[in-house]
Every structure is written in structure tokens, then in C-alpha cells.
Structure 1
Amino acid sequence: MSTAEAADLPLQKAAPIEYVRVCGAYGAGFFYIPGTDTCLRISGRARFEAGTIPDPNRNQSQGDALQMRGLMRLSVDARTQTDYGTLRAFVRGEYASRTGTLLSSATQLRIANAFPATGQDTFSRVQNFAIVEKAFVQFAGLTAGRASSFFDFYAHDYELIGSTGGSDISATNLMAYTKVFDGGLSATLSMEDPAYRRQPVYSAAFASTTNPGGVPSLFGVPTTAPTALILTTDGGFNATSAAFLDAVQRQRTPDFVGALRYDQPWGSAQLSGAFHETNVGGFIAGSTVSSAGTPLPSANTAAALLAARGIESGSQSAYGWAVQGGVKINLPMIAPGDGFYLQGSYAEGAMLYTGYTYLTGSYASNITPVQGGAFQQFLSDGVINPLTGKLDLSTSFTIVGSFLHYWAPEWRSAFFGSYGEVAFKRGTREAFSLLNNLVGGAVPPNAYTNPAGFAVSPVLRDNGQIIAGASLIWSPVKDLDIGIEGTYIGTSVLDGRVADITRPVTVGGLPLYTTKRYDATQIRMRVQRDF
């Protein structure tokens, strides 16, 4: 083809290239998704942790003194400006591989966040963790999806281990509306998933003989969940027959949370409250038996005996509540970045709103404070009284304070501490002691015929816990933390003594060794890069 003919052909234009543009409307790191008006920010985290906590007991899969964890986080934040304000979607996933009985948390297994290894040397002590940690939409004051509870305020913001008492539910399912007023005041009403705030109802099993750790029934820790209602044919209650109650809670009513928050240059303050239902089901069909294992004369007879005490179907609900107040004060006059938190909370039948179980472990009615602990804490939201059949709610409170100080721009420390208590309704332990092998365990079994055995049983004992610690963190470059933290944990019964389950020696049917408190220390180090 000649040059003249080629010049007459139409020219092919290259498709325009759309470069990624920076979006400055929402802060650093956002860019426009090509072809849209939506701004996107991708961020993440990589973390290594190692820690130790002494445990002299090497029985029943205990004895791990070393814990290690590798963790990754990936977050995506998408925002679009609309006529109604900013439309936001935020998602975050966390994934971890961790070992050791402390970091391989049974709490995470109980709440379905993790899955364990099954090998002889790794069973429940090597664990992988995968969770949708955040996935919510925000639009015109509405927040809907998986997000942090609006009840929370100080959520272990200054801590590495995050072990002080205080509510810290970083991931729950909710729908909330927030109204922002002039002057830094905001109010939120939130409907939240109750499953993430349930401590099991404590319910004793008839004729329990050992607890899961193999400790004799003398120490009063039952194995199974149903409550035994002990009956006689004349309507009295004693250890001759039992009707078992379904004590597993169902999803019936959402938790309702309200929060009033005030933000100013000097800091923040928040007052929050929550409503929480505790419930149990009816009697388990065919479970009404005598102590000899033979059925009562008829189901109607059992129903009549229960009705004589005002117990109808067995199913019932009790409505608990929680309140919390907190303040954060910025302290730039000491050093840039310094701050102080003070927070207190109280709950009836809603223990996870006070965060009392945060170190010991959640979603279990009784557990040792740390592996190898000398006694078990009892941590139920409620107790089925075996004489009345009524649901009695527990009470709990926590107080926490935390101070962050920058020694230099690249060096900082946190100093923190908390104290909390849980208490059960008076008379409930005595009611349980009337059931053979549940409290006291030895024959004769109860508080009146065996007061010595009753006195050292840990079942439903009021207990308290103090936690205190400090950290030192070095940040040689931006978004890199290298730090170490030490924590003291002191757990005690509030009145009297209990049997020491680490030394199960008995004399005349009574424990030779008793204890009032258990002290432990924990040290953990971390290397973390955020981007």
C-alpha cells in the first residue's frame, strides 16, 4: 500500500487509561475505585505473640508453660458520599494459629470462633482461629451488621493481653441508630445479639459423681447441665427422686442497649445500659426417676408435686440488666498521647456486660481462673433453685482504670488494674446442699448434717478477682510495635475457704488442703505491624 493510500485510513485511538486517584475526603489511605465515586481503604495487621504463665499441674492436659500465636488481620473500608450523608461498608477478618492452653482459648471454641487439633500432643492445645470480626453498613445514623457492642467504652484500649475486667465484645451482630447532637453529644439505641452475652445458667445434675477434671464429688462440681428437682410423693423435697429441667437457653429476646456519649478535646465520657433475658426450657420428657432409677408413679404425679410448689411447666424467663459509666481524659500536659480511663459497671443476670469473666473465660458456668488453678470460679448469670424451681439471678460488678504514658515519641507504657466480684442469692447454696452429692458430697451430704463438707465446697461461692499489670512498648518506626507486658491475677473466695483441687487428699471424708485464693502471673511479648 502506498503512503498516500495509508494516510486516508481512519486512525485507531487507544482506550483511555483511568489511573487510580487519591480520595482525600476521608483521611489518608483512601483511593477511588476506578469507574466509581466510592472511596476505598485497605489495611491490615501482622502479629507475633509469645507468653508464659506458671502451672505446676501437668495432669489432665495441663502444664503448658509456653504459648505462641501468629495472627493476621485484613480490613476493607468503602465509603460513598450521598444526599443522606456518607454510606459506609466496613469488613474485617482475623485469622490466627496459636498453641498452648492459655492462647488456645476454650472460650473461642465455645463461641464457635476456633477449631482445635485432635492429635495426642496437640489436642485442644493447637488451635486455628477464623472470624468475621467486622462486617457492617453505616448509613444516615444506622449501623447494621457485625460490629463492636455499643455498650462498651474502655475495651482494653491500652493493653496488650486485654485481661482486665470490663466489657469488650468486639464482634457481635446488631442493628443500631445513633443521633449526633451539637456540642459533641450523641445517643445510640442498639438491638444486639444475646448469644454473645450469655453465661450459662448453673444447674446441678442429680447423683453427680465427678467433675470433668476428675475431682471427687466432695468438691461439689457437677458434670452435666440439667437441674435436679428433688421430690417426694407427699410434695416435700429430698434426695429420693428427680425431674430434670432443660437449662439450655434459647434465642427469644434480643438485648437492648442504650448509650449516651460525650466527646470533647479533653476526652470522652459515656453512660450505657443494657437489658438481657436469661431463660430455661421445660422439663425433659421421661426424665422423672427415683433415686433407685425407677419411674415415679406417673407423669401427672410429678406434675402435681411440682405444682404444689408453684412450678408449672418448668420453662421461665428472668430479665437482667446492666449499667456502665466511663470517662477518658486526655493528658497532653504530661506528654503528647497520654491518656487515662476510669470505668465501672454493675449487672444483675448479665455478667458479660461487666466483663468479669474476661480473663478466666466466658460461656462456661464454672472454670478455674487459669490452667492449674486451685479452685473453680462460679460464673453463671442465674441459678435454678432446686427447692423452689425458680431462676435466681447473680450480680456482678467491675471497676477498671488504665493510664498510658509516652516516655518518648517511640517509647510508651500502660499501667492498668481492675477489681470485680460476683455474688449469688443468699440461700441458694443451702438449697443445693440438700441434694445428695451436689454440695459437700460426703454422707451425710448437706449444710445441716455435714456443715464441714458444705463449708469447703466451691459451688456457687461468691468470688472476686483483682488484675494489675504494666507494659513497655517500643515503636522505632511508624506502625511497628515491639512490646512486653506483665500481669498479676489474684482470685479469691469472699468468705471462708474451699478445697484445693490441686491436692485432692482427704481425711475422714474432708479435704486435707484448703485455700482461699489463687495467685498467678502472666508475661507476654508482641511484635506487630499495622498497615
Structure 2
Amino acid sequence: MIDRKSLLLGTTAGLITLAGSAAAADLPVKKAAPIEYVRVCGAYGAGFFYIPGTDTCLRISGRARMEAGYLQSGSRNGAGNGDTSQFRGLLRLNVDARTQTDYGTLRAFLRTEMASRTGDNRMTSGSQQRIGNAFPALGQDSFGRVQDYVAVDKAFVQFAGLTAGRASSFFDFYAHDFEIIGQSLGSDVFATNLLAYTQTFGGGLSATLSMEDPNFRKNPFYSQAASPAAGALGQTVSYTLTNAPSPVITSLAANGLPSSISYVDVVQRSRMPDFVGVVRYDAPWGSAQLSGAVKDINIGGPLAGTAAGTVNPTRLTGADVGAQTAYGWAVQGGLKVNLPQVAPGDSLYLQGAYGQGAAIYTGMVAYTGTYLSNATVFNGNAFNQFLSDAVLNPLTGRIETSNSFTATVSYLHYWSPEWRSAFYGSYGEMHFPRGLREAFGQISQAAGSVAAGGLGLPFVTSGLPVAANGAGFAYSQVLRDTSQIVAGASLIWSPVKDLDIGVEGQYMRAAILNGKVTNNDRTATIGTGANATPVYPINSQEAFQARVRVQRDF
């Protein structure tokens, strides 16, 4: 017989449990957070996606590249001048962020490049090392041959016609678009700091005014390569890379020859930006662009050389050559014509540039090297090419600018969708004001030292204006007018999308426009002193290089 008390307690407990269960069922249930998937953004082309939680579209891309090259070495003299092989491995990362606003597209673009580069003279880059983008190895067998390259290649904002940050110079047009080696004559400053505004007029016409960092367009003044030895005046001068002396006559003796010489610091300072103006037209048939640039060319101030061999920042007495500024300028015209009637993808570039005191703008330095007063055109070469934007005249104490021009043609042809070739040629000339070489000859006569003239060989001068004579002066390479030809061709295979396997050969010829110079590689002479005549004078030199590239873009 069931106990009534137990039955009552059990029934009560069951009712309580049911009531509790009903109450729990009525409580709200916490739902899992919805998963926000990455969405494709089709507004700006393939590869863009929305950053989750924003209306900004992002594209990440990059490049991997291997290059191997050969450059002949004409060296017969000197250690370390026999390198011919070159190698490079490169990575590139791009980030492109875009947002649509009431003022149009807001864009930020970032690109970094890093590379391990080896080989003397071309694959490693002295130009990039001079502006801090590359860092050299210091070992006995790697010095000058092994280099790491790390650069902020692009980092700019674009908004409502404004471009601000680090970007390619607006002056440039062709900029080696079809080349593997990339050393035809022409402007190609792919990374500079700038602030620019572009006005679009419709119908493909636009105009840009750009304020650009001057430090990437300064080719230095000509100055002496070595401290002048003590001579008739008993003067010596010490200097460093940041204190480059150039001699100036400050007083004359009764016989008309200089009786004192001072040395002026010709290192340029950053005083004003370069100003670039561009008018451009884009159409289905191609593009046309007219570019102009104005830049300042300045010297930092006077330095007087003393018999004690020091440099004193005192004002010169005979020639007022204190801090002074001249202005360089350049103009460039470019035309690109699409030629689908020949083959899909074919196009032709034509470009020409002229400038005064603006060798980097004309691109006359593209093969030989930038940010140098003079340079070898290849390892163990026969003579140096002089590339200075300006020279301080030692007779007048005033800045005188060089002038240069270049012309380039480049054609890209598709043999088939997988095979293409580029054919290009360029020509340029570099000229210095008349009388400058003779003026430095007068300085050498006054100082009683060949080194003071910086001309490298003995010569005789007399009176003012200078009447230089002697074989040493006649065969000197310093401040000579020169020309250069750079031409090449390539063959590239693209078996799949975004993969290039190619090879390019390039020919270069540098020449003295008037007369001949001593061959640095064969320095034998007949006679002595001012009448020492070189046995093997030369007026041109040639070089050939080849490069193989394997590249994947994504």
C-alpha cells in the first residue's frame, strides 16, 4: 500500500520540475555572431575585395624576379676590374586601397621593393647606394660586388586631383617601359617625394603641376678629384664628400698670372623644390605628353684654402663667389602610338628631351650613372664621361651650366600571344660651355701642380684669356663634350598569364665629340711633360651586355 505522504511529496516535486522546465524554455537563447565573408569588389577591376566591416576596397599584389647578366670588362690594368657576371633576386609587394567618396575615389597606394644584387658596375647600383636605397657588403671579395636593396618605392595618396607622397616623377613618360635592362637614354625617376595637382578637362586631356623633391634630380658640380699638392703658391686644401672644393682665382700678379687661389664649396644645398608642369592627352590610339621642369643649381658658400692645409669659411676677397644660385630647366615631348593593326598589343614610343643644368631630367646619365660628376661607362673602360649639371668657372667665379639632349625610340611587337620582343635605340649628347677646360688649365699653371687643374696630364698655359697647349691638355678627358648611343632588343616568352621568361642584349657606344683622349687602359706615352703624347689615343669606346629574366606577377 502506497504511503499517502510519499505520493504527495513525489507529485509536488514533479510539478516543480515541470514548472522549472517551462520557465527555462521561455528564456531568450544567445545566437552565434554572423560570419562576415570577404566580398568581391568589382568597382576597380579584378583582384579587389572589401575590407570586412568597411566600404574600402583592397588589392594585394606582388612580383618575384630572378635576373642573371653578363657585361664585358675591357680591363687590362688595376685589381678587381675583371668581373663580368651579375645576379639579382627581387621581391615586390603592392597594396592598393580605394574608397568611393562624394569627391571621387580616395586612393592610397604602397609598394616596397627588396633585392639581393651582385656583380660589379651594372646589376649592383652605385646610384641607389648614393641616395640610401642600397647597402653594400664590406668583405674583401664582396666589397662593391654584393648589395642589398631596400626601398620605399611608392607611398602616395590620391584624392580629388591631388597626389601626395612618394611616386614616380610626373615629368617622365616612356621610362623604360619595354626594357629588361632599363638603361636607354631618358628620364626614369621611379620614386621621388612630391605634391601634385592634376586637372582633367575631359576628352582625354589633363594638366598637372607638381612640386618635387630636388635631391633626386641633382647631378653634382665638377670639382677636383684630389687635393691640390703644394705648388708655387704653397696652397693645399682638405675636403670630404660633403665639402667639394673648386678653385677660383682671387688675385693676379703684375705679369697677369694668378697670384692667389681660393677654393669654393660647390656641394649643392636643398633650397627650393623642383617644379614640373605636364600636359597630357590619352586616347584609344595612344598618348602624347609635353613636360617641363625648373630646378635650382646652387653652391653652398666660399671656402678659402690656406698654406696650413685647412679650410676656412671666410669670404673671398678677389672674387665675390658667395652662396649663389642659377636655374636649370628641361623640356620633354613624348608620343605613344598603339598599333593593333600590326599585331594585338603592339605599340611605339617616341621621346625627346633637352635641358640646361638638368642631366637627370634629359636622362643623359641613364647608362653611365646618376649623382656623379663623372663616371666610367663600364668596368675597365678607356675614359670617363663627364656629366656635371654645372661648373664653377675659376676665372669669373660664376656658375655655368652644361646642356644635354636625348632622343629615344622603342617598339614592342607581339609575334604571338605568348611571344613578344622589344626593339629600342637612343642617342644623347652632353656639352659644356666653351673655355672652361682652358680656365682650369690656368688654375693648374698658377698652382704649379697638375693635380690642381684636375686635368690628369701636364699642359702649358699663358696669359688671360687662357691659351692652353701641349699634348697633355689636348688629350685630357676632363669636361669634354661627349655623345652616347644605347640600343637593344629582347625576346620574351609568356607561356601562362603573368609569367615572363626573357633575354635582352644591349649595345652602348660613348664617344668624344671632338678630338681624342688618352686611353686609361693603355697609358703609354711618347715624350715627357707638356709634350707627352699618348701612344694609343682613343675617341670612342663600346660595350655589350646581356641579361636573362624570369618574373612572376600576381
TM over 0.5: yes
How does 1:193-232 map onto structure 2 within 5 Å?
193-204=213-224, 208=228, 225-232=244-251
How does 1:414-429 map onto structure 2 within 5 Å?
414-429=422-437
How does 1:259-408 map onto structure 2 within 5 Å?
259-284=278-303, 287-289=304-306, 303-306=316-319, 312-408=320-416
- The equivalent of 2:201 in structure 1 is 181
- The equivalent of 2:163 in structure 1 is 143
CA distance 1:229–1:33, change in 2 (3 Å) = same
CA distance 1:449–1:136, change in 2 (3 Å) = closer
Cα distance in 2 for partners of 1:126, 1:443 equals 40
One-letter amino acid matched to 1:75: N
Q: Is the 8 A contact 2:347 2:411 kept in 1?
A: yes
- The equivalent of 2:6 in structure 1 is none
Cα distance in 2 for partners of 1:313, 1:229 equals 9
Moved more, 486-495 or 275-284: 275-284
Identity across matched positions, percent: 60
- The equivalent of 1:245 in structure 2 is 264
One-letter amino acid matched to 1:335: A
CA deviation after TM superposition for structure 1 residue 283, in Å: 1.1
TM-score by length of 1: 0.91
Q: Could you list the runs of 5+ residues in structure 1 that have no partner in the other structure? A: 210-221, 307-311
One-letter amino acid matched to 1:53: L
Match for 2:99 among 80, 92, 104?
Answer: 80
Q: Is the 8 A contact 1:204 1:224 kept in 2?
A: no
- The equivalent of 2:181 in structure 1 is 161
Q: Could you list the runs of 5+ residues in structure 2 that have no partner in the other structure? A: 1-16, 230-240, 445-449
CA deviation after TM superposition for structure 1 residue 515, in Å: 0.7
CA deviation after TM superposition for structure 1 residue 502, in Å: 1.1
- The equivalent of 2:545 in structure 1 is 522
- The equivalent of 1:309 in structure 2 is none
Aligned residue pairs total: 508
Q: Is the 8 A contact 1:205 1:223 kept in 2?
A: no
Cα distance in 1 for partners of 2:128, 2:163 equals 25
CA distance 1:472–1:497, change in 2 (3 Å) = same
Q: Is the 8 A contact 1:205 1:228 kept in 2?
A: no
CA deviation after TM superposition for structure 1 residue 305, in Å: 2.0
Cα distance in 1 for partners of 2:81, 2:256 equals 40
CA distance 1:449–1:529, change in 2 (3 Å) = closer
Superimposed CA distance per residue, residues 350-402 of structure 1 (whole angstroms, 9 cap, x where no aligned partner):
11111110111000000011121110000000000111111000000000000
- The equivalent of 2:62 in structure 1 is 44
CA RMSD of aligned residues (A): 2.3
- The equivalent of 1:212 in structure 2 is none
TM-score by length of 2: 0.88
Q: Which has the larger radius of gyration?
A: 2
Cα distance in 1 for partners of 2:187, 2:79 equals 31
Aligned to 2:415, the other structure's residue is in SS state: strand
Q: Is the 8 A contact 2:339 2:346 kept in 1?
A: yes
Cα distance in 2 for partners of 1:258, 1:294 equals 46
Q: Is the 8 A contact 1:33 1:39 kept in 2?
A: yes
CA deviation after TM superposition for structure 1 residue 224, in Å: 8.3
Match for 1:28 among 46, 53, 76?
Answer: 46
How does 1:449-528 map onto structure 2 within 5 Å?
450-509=469-528, 510=532, 511-528=534-551
